[in-house]
Amino acid sequence: MIRLPGGRHADGAHNIEQLIERLWQLVGTAGSDPGPVEVTGERHVLPSVFDVTGLATASVAAATAAVAGLVAARTDGPPPVTQIDSRAACAAFVSEQLFAPRGWERPNPWDPIAGDYRSADGWIRLHTNYATHRRAALGALDLPDDGCTERTAVAAAVAGWAGVELEQAVVDLGGAAAVMHDADTWHRHPHGSATAAEPAVRVTATGPAPAPTWAAVEPVRPLSGIRVLDLTRVIAGPVCTRFLAAYGADVMRIDPPDFAEVAALLPLTTAGKRCVALDLRRAAGRQRFADLLATADVVVHGLRPGAMEGLGLGPHELRALNPGLVAARHDAYGWAGPWSGRRGFDSLVQMSCGIAAAGGAVAGTDGPVPLPAQALDHATGYLTAAAIVRALTERLETGQAADVTASLLGTANVLGSLPRPDGLRTPAPVWGTADLRPVSTAWGRADAVPDAGVVAGWPARHDREAGPLGRDDPAW
Could you list the active site residues? Answer: 377
SS3 annotation, 66-102 = HHHHHHHHHHCCCCCCEEEEHHHHHHHHCHHHHCEEC
Q: In terms of DSSP bridges, do strands 444-448 and 437-441 run parallel, antiparallel, or are they unpaired? A: antiparallel
Through-space distance between the first and last CA atoms of the chain, rounded to whole angstroms = 38
Pairing of strands 326-331, 400-407: parallel
Residues in the chain: 476
Q: What angle do CA 229, 234, 236 make, to 5 degrees?
A: 70
Backbone angles phi, psi at 268, to 5 degrees: -100, -45
Give the number of other Cβ atoms within 10 Å of residue 417's Cβ.
Answer: 10
Alpha-carbon distance of 328 to 302, in angstroms, equals 9
Q: Which residues contact 333 (CB under 8 A, 6 or more apart)?
A: 191, 195, 339, 340, 342, 344, 349, 352, 407, 408, 409
Q: What is the rounded distance in angstroms from the CA atom of residue 373 to the CA atom of residue 128? A: 19
Rg (CA), the chain: 21
- Residue whose C-alpha is closest to residue 90's, from 407, 440, 382, 308: 382
